[in-house]
Amino acid sequence: MSERNPLLRWDYVVAQRHTIIAAVIEHVQLTLLTVVLGLAVAGVLAAVALRWGRARPTIGAATAALYTIPSVAFFGLLVPSTGLTRTTALIPLVAYTLVVLVNAILDGLDQVPPAVDEAAEAIGLSPLRRLLGVRLPLAVPVIVSGLRVATVTTVGLVTLAAIVGQGGLGRLILDGLRRAFWTPLTIGALLSILLALVLDAAFVLLERRIAPWSVRRPASRAGAA
Amino acid sequence: MTDASRPAVQLLAVSKHFPDSVAPAVEHLTLAVPRGAVVALIGPSGCGKTTSLRLINRLIDPTSGHVEVDGRDTRQLDPIALRLGIGYVIQAVGLFPHRTIAQNIAVVPRALGWDRGRTRRRVSELAELVGLEQEQLGRFPDELSGGQQQRVGVARALAADPPILLMDEPFGAVDPVVRARLQQELLELQARVHKTIVLVTHDLDEALTVADRVALLDRGGRLAQYAEPDELLRAPAEEFVTEFLGPDRSLRRLALLTVDALQLRRGAAVAVGTSTHDARALLARDGGDWIGVLDDERFLGWVRGTALAGEGSVTEQGLEAPAALVGPRSTLRAAMDRIMTARTATAVVVDEGRFLGIVTLEDIRRALAERAG
Amino acid sequence: MQLELAQAALPRDITLAEWLLDPTSWTGSSGILPSLLDTLALCSAVMLAAVVLAVPSAALLAHLGRAKVLSAWLVNIGRAVPTFALAALLVPVSLRTGLGFEPWPIFIALTAMALPPIYLGTYTAVSGVDRAAVDAARAVGLRSREVLLRVELPLASSVILTGVRVAAVQVVATEPIRAFLGGDGLGRYVRDGLGQRNDTLLLGGAVLVAALAGAVGMVLSLLQRAIEPTGVRRLRPSVRSTRIATAASDLRTDPDTAPHASEPPGALTGAMTLTDDERD
C-alpha cells in the first residue's frame, strides 16, 4: 500500500503540475483579494473611528467579535444564502482581517509622537495635510506589520475555504483526504505552509525597507525623546 | 507696508477658560509685543504662558477679548494662513521623523506653494544661518543630536521668513551646556534677522538673557509685571514678582549689566616717561597703593607706589601684569568674578588693547545702588 | 482505503428549531451531546498539553532573560503555519505510524496553534514584572527559584491567564475543522450539512459551533476574574483579547534588550508588533 500511496509521488506531481500551479495561483489571488478588501474596509472603519471617536470602542468590539466566530461556522452560515461561491469564502476571510487591520491603522496613527503632530498643526498644516502628509506616513510601519499578520493568517484560512469549494491549495488537501491519496494532500499542505512562510518573510524584508528614517542610532534616541 | 510703531502682536483683554477646569487659564491679559522685540513669557507652571502663546496663532481661540497680529484681529483670519505666516518652535522640536532635514525645513515653503528651486535655495540659506552642515540636509532627524535638531526646528520656523516667531520652551529638551550655546546663537541670529519673537520659558536666566522684555505671569494667567529684564530685577512691581525672582536678584542684575554701562574712571594711571614725582603725587591724590602705566593708550602693567621712590621717570621695567582684565561688553558679574578670582581690588577695562579705565568692587556696588532708583 | 464516517442523517424538511428541540438530536452516537463532549475533551487535552509545554519553559527563559530573539522567531513561525494544513499533513504520518486517522493530527496541530499565545503571554508577563519588585525580592534574600515562583509568577499570573484564555478560545473555534480531517466533534454537522446539502444541519451545526466558542470565551473570562487575586487584577493590562499580540512588542522594548530595541521594527518580531508604544 505504501508503495502505491507514498506521502509524495513525483510522477503524480509532474502529471498534475498544471492543477497544482492553478491551485497556488488561486490561493494567492484569494489571499491578496482578501487583504486588499480587508484593508479597504478597515480604512473606512478607521476613518469612522477617527471622525467619531465615540464609535471607536464599538468598532473595536465588533471586529473583535467577528474574529471569534469559528471559521467552520462562519463559512457554514453563509452557504445557504451565498452558496459555494467565492463570495462565501471572501466574507469571512475579509471579516477576520478587520480586527488586526483596524487596530493597526489606529494604533499606527496613535503612536505618532504628539510633538510631531503638534508641530505640524502649529506651523500651519491643514488637518488633511497633517493626516496624509505626517500621521499616515508615520503609521505605515505599524500598518504593514498589521498587513503581515493579516496576510499570513489569511493564507491559512484560505486553505479552509476549501470546505465551501474555494481556496486553491485547500482543495488539494481535501481531495487527498477524501480519496485517502496522500500526494495531493501533502503537496497542498506543504505549499500552503510554504506560501505562508514565504509571504511572512517577504513582509519582514518589506518592513526593513519601509522606514528609512528610523535610523538605529542609540545615541540619538535620548535627544529625540 | 507695516506701521513700525504698531505692536506686531497684541493681546487685548484676553481670557481663556478651558471647559474642564474651574480656574481660567488666562485672565484678562493685555500685552503688546513691539515689532522686532524678543518677549519672554515666564511664570510658575499653570500660569497660562503656553496658553497665551497658543492664542497668538489660534492653536486655541480666546473665550473673550481678542488677539491682533499686525493690527488685524486674528479671528478675521484663516487659522491655517495665519500659522503659515508665523514661525513656531516647540520644546520637543517635533521634527517629522520620516522627512529629511531639508524636507523638514521646506515644509512651510512647500505648503505655501513655492517652486522647487526657490525652496532649495532657501533651505540651504537657512542651514547656513542656523549653523547646519549642508551634508546634514539629506539626513533624517534621528541621525542628529538634540542641539542640532533644535537648530533644524528654528530653521523650519524661519523657512518662509515670517516676521513673527513663537517659541514654546525652545531649549527645554537639551542639556544646560547646549542650551546656553543655543541661546547665544538665537541672540546672534536675532541680530541678523530682526524678528518679533515671543518665547515661553520656565527658566528665569533664559528669559533675562534672551529677552528684551519679560512678561511675568502669575497663576491663572494674570500679568504681574511686564518690563525690561533690568527693570524687573531692579524694581519688582509686587510681592509675587520679588518672590519669583528669588533672593539673588542683585546677582542676576550683575549678569545683565555690562562694564561699558558704568562711568569708567581712569584711576591712577600715568604714561611711560612720567616723572616719579608726578606719579607719586597722582597716587597720593588717588589714595591707592598701585599706579597703572600706559604706553599711549596701551595698558602696560602696574607699579607699586613704594617702587617710585627717588627721582627719575616711570619706565617699562618691573611692571606687574594686570591680574584682572575685562572688556567693555563683559558683564559686571564677570568683572566681579575676575576681581575675586585674581584677589585684586581692581579690574582693568581694555577694548582691543586700548585702555578704557578701571572697575573696582566699589564701582560695581555703586552701579547697582544707583540703578536701584 | 476510504473514510468511514458515521453521517448524521436528517430529513431535509425539518426546521432548525425542530432539530435542536428534538431530544433525540442530542443523544445517540452521533448526537449533539456526545459530539460536544468529544470536542470539549479534545480541547481540554490540547490546552493541558500546551500549558504544560509553554508556561514553564517561557517562564524560566524569561526569568533568565534568555532566548528573546529565538522566542520571537518561534512564535512568529508558529503563527504563520496554517493549522488545517499542518493537521492534514500529519494525517498520513499518523496512519503510517499506526496511530490511526484520529485524533493525533488535529491534536498536534491545535497544540501547535495554542503554544504561541500562551508562550508569548507568559514570556512577556514574566519579563514585564516590575524590576523593583524583583530587586526587592533579591535584596531580602530570596533565591532565584523563589523569585520566579513567589514573585514573578504571581505578579505575571494575570497576563499569563489572558494568554491561556485567548489560546483556549482559538482552540475551541478551530477544533471543528477536525470534522473535515476524518474526525467528528461538533463540527460534524456543518460537514454533513454541506455534504448532504442540508441547510438545517449546516446552519444548526454552525450555530452550535459559534455558540460553543462564544460560551467558552465568556466562561473563561468570568473564571479568570474569579480566580485572580484582587491585587493582581488591578495589574491586568487593558489588553483586548485578540490583541495579545501587542504584548509581544514588550519583547523588543524590554530595557534589557536595548540593542534589540533599536532593531528595525519587524526585523525578527515585526508580526508581533501590532502596536508599538516605545519611545517614552
Q: In chain A, whose CA is at the least distance from the CA of B90?
A: A119
At A60-70, the pLDDT tens digits run 999 998 988 99
**Predicted confidence band at A214 (pLDDT cuts at 50, 70, 90)?**
low
Q: Which of B248, B275, B295 is the last residue of a domain?
A: B248
At C37-75, the pLDDT tens digits run 999 999 999 999 999 999 999 999 988 888 888 888 888
Q: Which of residues 185-214 of C touch A (CB under 8 A)?
A: 187, 190-191, 193-194, 199, 202-203, 205-207, 209-210, 213-214
pLDDT at residue B278 greater than cutoff 60: yes
Is B2 part of any domain?
A: no
Of B59, B111, B149, the CB nearest to A122: B59
Same domain? For B359 and B213 the reply is no
b/e burial code for range B318-330 (CB count within 10 A of at least 16 → b)? ebeebebebebeb
pLDDT at residue C236 greater than cutoff 80: no
Query: Which carries the bigger pLDDT value, residue B151 or residue C248?
Result: B151
Closest approach of chain A CAs to the CA of C125, in angstroms? 21
Is B292 part of any domain?
A: yes
**Predicted confidence band at C257 (pLDDT cuts at 50, 70, 90)?**
very low
Domain range enclosing C128: 16-20+27-269
Domain range enclosing B91: 9-248
Closest approach of chain A CAs to the CA of C139, in angstroms? 30
Q: Check if A222 contacts B (Cβ < 8 Å).
A: yes
Query: Which carries the bigger pLDDT value, residue A29 or residue B264?
Result: A29
CATH number at residue B174: 3.40.50.300
Same domain? For B276 and B352 the reply is yes
Instruction: Give the pLDDT mean for B179-206.
Output: 89
Instruction: Give the pLDDT mean for B123-149.
Output: 88
Is B233 part of any domain?
A: yes
**Predicted confidence band at A155 (pLDDT cuts at 50, 70, 90)?**
very high
Is B295 part of any domain?
A: yes
A68 with C243: Cβ contact below 8 A: no
Query: Which carries the bigger pLDDT value, residue B209 or residue C14?
Result: B209
A137 with B80: Cβ contact below 8 A: no
For position C49, what pLDDT does the model report?
Answer: 96
For position C243, what pLDDT does the model report?
Answer: 37
Is B155 part of any domain?
A: yes
Is C40 part of any domain?
A: yes
Instruction: Give the pLDDT mean for B126-141.
Output: 88
pLDDT at residue C171 greater than cutoff 60: yes
Closest approach of chain C CAs to the CA of A57, in angstroms? 11
Cell of B85: 505666516
Q: Structurally, how many domains does chain C consist of?
A: 1
pLDDT at residue C160 greater than cutoff 70: yes
Average of per-residue pLDDT values in chain A: 87
Whether residue A34 contacts residue A93, with contact meaning beta carbons closer than 8 Å, is answered with: yes
Is B254 part of any domain?
A: no
Same domain? For B319 and B278 the reply is yes
Architecture field, domain A30-170: Orthogonal Bundle (1.10)
Is B40 part of any domain?
A: yes
Among candidate residues C228, C230, C207, C235, the one with its CA nearest the CA of residue C165: C228
Cell of A115: 510633538
Count A/C contacts: CB-CB distance under 8 Å. Answer: 210
Of A73, A111, A204, the CB nearest to C276: A111
For position C231, what pLDDT does the model report?
Answer: 56
Q: What are phi and psi of B40, to 5 degrees?
A: -100, 130
B142 with A225: Cβ contact below 8 A: no
Residue among A59, A72, A93, A220 with most chain C CBs within 10 A, to mutate = A72
With beta carbons under 8 A apart, name residues in chain A contacting B94: 113, 115-120, 122
**Predicted confidence band at C259 (pLDDT cuts at 50, 70, 90)?**
very low
Q: In chain C, whose CA is at the least distance from the CA of A221?
A: C279
Q: Which of residues 182-211 of A touch B (CB under 8 A)?
A: 211
At A118-139, the pLDDT tens digits run 899 998 898 888 998 899 999 9
Q: Check if C176 contacts A (Cβ < 8 Å).
A: yes
CATH number at residue C227: 1.10.3720.10
Phi-psi category of B323—alpha, beta or left, where left has phi over 0 and alpha has psi -120 to 50? alpha
With beta carbons under 8 A apart, name residues in chain A contacting C93: 7
Residue among A111, A112, A123, A125 with most chain B CBs within 10 A, to mutate = A123
Of A120, A124, A223, the CB nearest to B145: A223
Among candidate residues A89, A62, A72, the one with its CA nearest the CA of residue C211: A72
Q: What is the ipTM of this complex?
A: 0.84
Q: Which of residues 103-122 of C touch A (CB under 8 A)?
A: none
Is C265 part of any domain?
A: yes
d(CA B196, CA B284): 54
Give Cα C156 distance to the centre of its chain: 18
Is B365 part of any domain?
A: yes
For position B42, what pLDDT does the model report?
Answer: 93
Helices (H), ranges, chain A? 10-15, 17-51, 55-68, 71-82, 86-110, 114-122, 127-129, 136-160, 168-179, 182-210, 218-224
Which sequence spans correspond to the domains of chain A?
30-170
Cell of C233: 487584577
Average of per-residue pLDDT values in chain B: 86
Crossing angle of helices A136-160 and A168-179, in 10° steps, is 20
pLDDT at residue A188 greater than cutoff 90: yes
Closest approach of chain B CAs to the CA of A145, in angstroms? 17
pLDDT at residue C11 greater than cutoff 80: no
At B216-255, the pLDDT tens digits run 999 888 899 999 998 888 888 999 999 998 888 888 888 8
Whether residue A105 contacts residue A48, with contact meaning beta carbons closer than 8 Å, is answered with: no
Q: Check if A137 contacts B (Cβ < 8 Å).
A: yes
Q: Give the range with max mean pLDDT: A35-44, B234-243, C245-254.
A: A35-44
From the CB of residue B146, how many other CB atoms can be counted at a distance below 10 Å?
Answer: 20
**Predicted confidence band at A3 (pLDDT cuts at 50, 70, 90)?**
low
